Structure 1
């Protein structure tokens, strides 16, 4: 099962550019705490949530609390993932204040609504200075059990290998850099893999052999490659997620900025295949350095049956 019809979203109580992530996230702009910015982010969150509901996607919303002081809580996919075998994974996070996003009440909400038989917690690797930030660094092709990971300070090799062993995926590692030559912090800002398409910034993979191997791996997984430029990537064209609605029809979730950055031909490819669920989330992209995909933690768990 490559796509799901259910996602987890965390509505922010406080939102601003996180100073603890700024050094390694070149997509992020600096911003001091500002109540107006939080209101703008909440409004953008609500619009995105409503767009997904109208597209027929199920959304479980958890409200964050100010007491946690977690400016990036809006990006839950970095600390939690789920699988169809009723397993929940939680991941080690680089920024100290992001570790507080792993809230037990969120896990409790999942256990209440879904069948969860196993919880594998990889977060203790933080104590060894090793981080692996969920489906921010992991791009998963579920049917072929293939995972794609670009190397960065947030994707420790040892943790990735442990995840691969426990989850049963083969990992393909590669280097990807931004236009200034710095490592791209999360794979999901330069690669998106859906059922039919792989949207990827091949320009960011400078090593010719790794670029060739990445293309080969994607094509072996049956993907049609949509190659985007640095400029398009910087407008979050790769930070998109294929979902499905309640009628099993494909839905692509993305920001208005990302959609506008695609060429007319690329827009035609995507819109002919799936419903496009768009929302204006510029403030979140600018200050959080993450976009529409980062805001969604896919839920592949089975719903609890009513007694």
Structure 2
């Protein structure tokens, strides 16, 4: 199963620019904005409303003021859910992001979603090895492929540990932006849907690695839909395909991402699903993440 209608989102209480993540997230922009929490909260609520209005089951959990977790709006980096009642917990690069794994929250989620097994990879933090969930990996759940661009946030040792635990095949590669900087998360340059894969092929400089990615996509029988680095910088890769309670499929993204697409790309994507988009400019600018980062899918 590649898509679900069950979505988990965290309502932020202390959203702000996070200098601990900015060291390797080129999408973040520091700035003074006294109303940032208010603006982000409105973007969050409007996004949740868009999803629920279109038939998705969104579980919203309020963040707590303490401990301080400025990036709690991006839960997909520390937790993921899988068929068979499996919950995975991930090692995080930034120390203040590790605080998002709040024991009370984990206990609540374990009970709510009837979790049968927890795969805990967080011990890798002791060795400075990281894998930030479905930010670091883009999963083809049907064909059990874990695509991952390596970066300070994504190390091969933890990727291999995840794949061994959940029986995925790793497809690791290196990807860079137009200034030669490693792309910090795979899900900003790639989206795997039921019938297609959106990806920024030009960011994969090594020809052999690019061929391996294309081969894996072909093996899954999916169509590759390329985006440019410029479109990627507008979060066009940070999309998520979801299915509502009635079985209708949607592709979710930010309005900035949608506006960066060409008419031809939009027409191509709409062959497979309707498109939903919401303005997330404050979240994208200050947090360096977008629509897909805000959602943890629940497959339990």
Do the two structures share a fold, i.e. TM-score over 0.5? Answer: yes
2:166 paired with 1:167: yes
**Counterpart for residue 25 of structure 2:** 25
1:142-192 deviation per Cα after TM superposition (whole angstroms, max 9, x unaligned): 111111010101111111111110010010110100111011000000010
**Counterpart for residue 145 of structure 1:** 144
Shift of 1:216: 1.4
Shift of 1:35: 4.6
Q: State how far apart, in whole Å, the 1-side matches of 2:113 and 2:96 are.
A: 28
When normalised by structure 1's length, the TM-score is: 0.95
Q: State how far apart, in whole Å, the 2-side matches of 1:272 and 1:51 are.
A: 21
SS in 1 for 2:293: coil
Shift of 1:194: 0.5
2:85 paired with 1:86: yes
Q: State how far apart, in whole Å, the 1-side matches of 2:144 and 2:171 are.
A: 11
1:101-160 deviation per Cα after TM superposition (whole angstroms, max 9, x unaligned): 011222222223222111111111111111110000111111111110101011111111
Shift of 1:272: 3.1
The within-5 A match list for 1:1-307 is 1-31=1-31, 34-301=33-300
Q: State how far apart, in whole Å, the 2-side matches of 1:121 and 1:88 are.
A: 8
**Counterpart for residue 305 of structure 1:** none
- Show structure 2 runs of 5+ residues with no match: none
What RMSD, in angstroms, separates the aligned Cα atoms of the two structures? 1.1
1:3-39 deviation per Cα after TM superposition (whole angstroms, max 9, x unaligned): 111111001101111000111001111135x551011
Q: State how far apart, in whole Å, the 2-side matches of 1:66 and 1:242 are.
A: 31
Shift of 1:222: 1.4
- Show structure 1 runs of 5+ residues with no match: 302-307
SS in 2 for 1:143: coil
